[in-house]
Amino acid sequence: MMRRFLGKAGIYSAAAAVLVFSVFPFVWMALTSFKPNEEIFTAVPRLLPTRWTLAQYRYVIDRGGFGRYFLNSAVIALFTTLCGIFVASLAAYALARFRFPGRTVFLLLILVVQMFPLVVLIIPLFIIMRRLGLLDSYLGLVIAYTTFTLPFGVWMLKGYFESIPSSLEEAAMIDGCSRMAAFARVIVPVSAPGIAASSIYAFIGAWNEFMFAMTFINKESMRTLPLGLQAFFGQFTVEWGPVMAASVIFTLPVLVFFLLVQKRLTTGLVKGAVKG
């Protein structure tokens, strides 16, 4: 009995330590964003501010362009998610339900693509975007971001679709539905947890991406939030107060979205990993 109690206590203690280690940086960032500058630059750091202020947030919001950066990131992340999940769901359904020549090779190619670092894709994508006139555009970044969100979505949704009995869409087709109608009316609603999990991954990946945006965007009005955060880092100084406030604003939409769909995310990840 004692060994069982000690085992559970050790597990809970380890989980608590991991939780504190993971959450503490965000807590420190949030608390620092409410400190005045004189309390940020001190020899002995303090966790809690002695004088709470919203000056850092006012500075970030009043700074020209930050609202535009937020809008750019939101539009690009939303369309990347929609386009990526639409294509990934069709590809994953075909791979899960049909057997055709080259299917195994295609699956391996999707897996191999995920093994390469994103920096390898920057130069070829830049050449393509320049020739197509897609630099400094929403469409260019959406296409670029889809290149790294699509393979993960295909693999996850393929495993999820394989866990759904094929008899469901067969029954719908017997009732008069076409293959695509059965997919849209039966499989997609049943697959909502897996689609939600893939959507969150695509949204977060597009929301946080920096390298592609820095390479493909030159216009000030087309910058995304990660590029906007870079503006607070000068050659010799860093505006730590505004950086913390902007980082909180940058993190909150993703955090709220994640909390709203947490249950669907967990279900989708578990079921999507069963087969594949």
Count of alpha carbons within 13 Å of 234, Cβ hemisphere only?
A: 6
Phi, psi (degrees; rounded to nearest 5) at 238: -130, 130
Tell me, what's the pLDDT at 66?
A: 81
Does residue 189 carry a pLDDT above 80? yes
Tell me which amino acid residue 172 is: A
Q: Are the C-beta atoms of 267 and 254 separated by less than 8 Å?
A: no
Domain extent listing, the chain: 58-272
Identify the pLDDT of residue 273.
Answer: 42
The per-residue pLDDT for range 20-70, each reduced to its tens digit, is: 888 888 888 889 889 888 888 877 778 888 888 888 888 888 876 788 888
Residue 160, pLDDT score:
84
Query: What is the CATH class of 58-272?
Result: mainly alpha
Instruction: Decide if 209 contacts 8 (C-beta within 8 A).
Output: no
Please give the C-alpha separations between residue 264 and each of 29, 81, 197, 212, 270, in angstroms, as whole numbers: 28, 16, 7, 29, 10
What number is the average pLDDT over the span 248-262?
Answer: 78
Burial class (CB in 10 A: 0-12, 13-18, 19+), 59: middle
Per-residue model confidence (pLDDT) at position 41:
81
Kindly state the average pLDDT of the residues 183-212.
86
pLDDT of residue 263: 64
Among 88-97, 187-196, 231-240, the range with the most confident prediction by mean pLDDT is 88-97
* Predicted confidence (pLDDT) per residue in 64-83, tens digit: 678 888 899 999 999 999 99
E strand or H helix at 267, and its extent? Answer: helix 262-272
Distance of CA 104 to the CA centre of its chain: 28
Summary mean pLDDT of the chain: 83
Percent of the chain with pLDDT over 90: 12
